[in-house]
Amino acid sequence: MDTARARAGYADARFVRSRVERLSTRNGRLDQLDSDESEGIGVRVRVGGAWGFAAVRGTGRADAEAALARALTIAEAQPAVPDAAPLAPEPVARGEWSSSFERDPFEVPLEEKLAVLLAADAGLRTEPGVNLTRARFSAFQTEKIFASTEGAVYEQRVTECGGGIAAVAVEDADSQIRSYPASHGGHVAEAGYEHFLDLELPGHAPRVASEAVALLSAPACPHGRTTLVLCGEQLGLQVHESVGHAVELDRVLGREASYAGTSFVPADGIGSLRFGSDRINVTADATNPGGLGTYRWDDEGVEGRPVPIVRDGVLAGFLSSRETASEIGLDRSGGCMRADGFVRQPIVRMTNVNLEPGDAGSLADLIADTGDGVLIETNRSWSIDNRRLHFQFEGEAAWEIRGGERGRMLRNPSYAGLTPEFWGSCDAICSPAEWRLISLLDCGKGEPGQVMRVSHGCAPARFRDVEVGVA
């Protein structure tokens, strides 16, 4: 750090050691048995307003010095950024922190984990007509040591674990999938092996398989405008894509225009931009127990905390870094800088971006109060434009709501909308008892690309006059 101070206005270094275990079955046989480990150092420097970052796999002093030398050379070779804003001030991070868990997933015998997966897979194959069955387990453990030229030094260790199941049924040109507890890899939490067991994958398997087959003969979701009830993963993804990404301050400031895109949200919109109905309250909270966006410090040493994003339907804040916060005059970073391992530099990412619960009671209460509409809970496909304005989502399955009751299942459900209009149409959100964190395991952003695991808390919500059956 002394060497860095002499040539850079700011520098930080992160040592990161990562362990990943992925196990899966496929049609009753064990399929994926992967164990990945890596460690190294990433050094980030700011020289004349330009950033340089270099990552090396070694962990010795010479490796760190080599990375620093390259980072400085790269930063100095960039066109200078003379009007670069100073970094927002931040108390110096010092200490140690570990996420909590009951049972270390990496210490559980492989045979024990595989037995659960095989039992779940067997449950999926009890339904004739299923072509493909999958059961997955995944565990992640990340250790970090961070130091900066401002004197920050911290150690942090995070353990995450979870899994899921899926069944695919095929008939002629049609293919239908059902997943539990979520698609795209299942549900993972900042927790230990106990979370994987709590998912009770074998118990849910027969229903999941049965629904996959039933979808082949279910009526298609009709095209039209109707009331839409979203819950679970689909609502979490809706929050993620149309709120979370839209309020990333690097996007808002145009820094991500070349890849992830920009945002319809203006940098000066706090307190004035109407994001949705007055029922919409969103908080980015890096302190939620079990969340994949939960940590003590972010990857530039800012302490995680709850940050209001939307209050009573009006924009209240951004996901930010020390640099971007400073640029728009915020007095402090939102603590949202996260990096994908030691080989990537931190960028503005989501913590746990949560839709706060309302007062509409249980999901059953909400359905009973709805009259007619459509309910979607599990995502199959998603797409949103580069300003996070126009979106189109497809679910695995939907259920008709008729006369206040959940009716028959519908296949190929989809819906589309315009972000502020859609959130503006929200007239009910279920009560706190229905609120839970969902996980998204593959949020992509940055160049070179970075994958981040994030969580979103939400309770089922109702949206009026939404276009469905669009795909």
Partner 1 sequence: MITGELSERAARNGGPDAFALVTRERSLMLRFAAGRATQSTEIDDVTVDIAIPFHGHVGRASTNEVDDAALADCAERARLAARAAETAGGEGRFPGFGASDREAAAADAFDAATAELDPEQGGAALVEAFETAAKHGVEAHGIWTVAEQEQGWATAGEGAAERRSDAFMKVICIAPNGRSGYAASSSVAVGDISAPELAESAARKALAAGDQAELPPGEYPVVFESHAVGWLCDLLAGCAFNGLAHAEGRGALDGRLGEQVAASRINLEDVPAHPDTLPRSFDAEGMRKAPLSLIQGGVAQAVAHDLRSAALAGNGAVTTGHALAPGGHASGPYPTNLVLAGGGAADEAELCAPVERGIYVTRLWYANVVRPKETLITAVTRDGTFLIEDGRVTRPLRDLRLTDSVLGILSRTEALSREQRLASDGEFYGRRFAYGVVCPGLRANGVRFTGGAG
Residues 401-430 that bind partner 1 (CB under 8 A): 412, 414, 416
What's the closest the beta carbon of residue 419 comes to partner 1, in angstroms?
12
Note whether 9 binds partner 1 by CB under 8 A: no
Among 3, 7, 9, 32, binds partner 1 (CB under 8 A): 32
Q: What is the rounded CA–CA span in Å between residue 291 and residue 285? A: 9
Q: What is the rounded CA–CA span in Å between residue 72 and residue 47? A: 7
Cβ-based nearer residue to partner 1, 247 or 366: 247
Cβ-based nearer residue to partner 1, 253 or 286: 253
Q: What is the rounded CA–CA span in Å between residue 319 and residue 284? A: 8
Note whether 57 binds partner 1 by CB under 8 A: yes
Do 441 and 195 contact (CB within 8 A), yes or no? no
Do 133 and 139 contact (CB within 8 A), yes or no? no
Note whether 150 binds partner 1 by CB under 8 A: no
CA distances (Å), origin 145, targets 39, 88, 106, 304, 324 = 11, 22, 21, 16, 24
What's the closest the beta carbon of residue 97 comes to partner 1, in angstroms?
25
Q: Which of residues 270-299 bind partner 1 (CB under 8 A)?
A: none
Q: Binding segment for partner 1 among 7-15, 32-40, 157-165, 231-239 (CB under 8 A)?
A: 32-40
Cβ-based nearer residue to partner 1, 237 or 430: 237
Put the strands of the sheet holding 306-311 in their side by side order: 314-315, 306-311, 282-285, 353-355
Do 416 and 437 contact (CB within 8 A), yes or no? no
Q: Which of residues 179-208 bind partner 1 (CB under 8 A)?
A: none
What's the closest the beta carbon of residue 19 comes to partner 1, in angstroms?
10
Q: Convert residues 335-364 into a mask of x (bound to partner 1 by CB under 8 A) and - (unbound).
A: --------xxx-x-----------------
Note whether 328 binds partner 1 by CB under 8 A: no
Q: What is the rounded CA–CA span in Å between residue 451 and residue 162? A: 17
Cβ-based nearer residue to partner 1, 81 or 92: 81
Helix (H/G/I), strand (E/B), else coil: 364: helix
Q: Binding segment for partner 1 among 4-12, 18-26, 88-96, 427-435 (CB under 8 A)?
A: 18-26
Cβ-based nearer residue to partner 1, 240 or 296: 240
Q: Convert residues 373-402 into a mask of x (bound to partner 1 by CB under 8 A) and - (unbound).
A: -------xxxxxxxx-xx-x-x--------
Among 3, 7, 50, 125, binds partner 1 (CB under 8 A): 50
Q: What is the rounded CA–CA span in Å between residue 299 and residue 440? A: 20
Q: What is the rounded CA–CA span in Å between residue 91 and residue 18? A: 27
What's the closest the beta carbon of residue 455 comes to partner 1, in angstroms?
20
Cβ-based nearer residue to partner 1, 131 or 431: 131
Q: Which of residues 445-464 bind partner 1 (CB under 8 A)?
A: 447-451
Q: Binding segment for partner 1 among 154-162, 214-222, 270-278, 442-450 (CB under 8 A)?
A: 442-450
SS3 track for 366-430: HHHCCCCEEEECCEEEEEECCCCCEEEEEECEEEEEECCEEEEEEECCEEEEEHHHHHHCEEEEC
Q: Which of residues 103-132 bind partner 1 (CB under 8 A)?
A: 109-111, 114-115, 118, 131-132
Q: What is the rounded CA–CA span in Å between residue 278 and residue 359? A: 13
Q: Binding segment for partner 1 among 145-153, 211-219, 252-260, 282-290 (CB under 8 A)?
A: 252-260
How many residues does the structure list for the chain? 471
Cβ-based nearer residue to partner 1, 276 or 346: 346
Query: Between the CA atoms of 180, 457, 391 and 368, what dihedral angle is there, to the nearest 10 degrees?
Result: 70
Note whether 217 binds partner 1 by CB under 8 A: no
Q: What is the rounded CA–CA span in Å between residue 180 and residue 115? A: 18
Bond prior to 448 in cis (omega within 30° of 0): yes
Size of residue set near partner 1 by CB under 8 A? 80
Joined together, the tokens standing for residue 353 give 């971006």
Would you tell me the crossing angle of helices 110-124 and 201-217 to the nearest 10 degrees? 30
Note whether 78 binds partner 1 by CB under 8 A: yes
Note whether 268 binds partner 1 by CB under 8 A: no
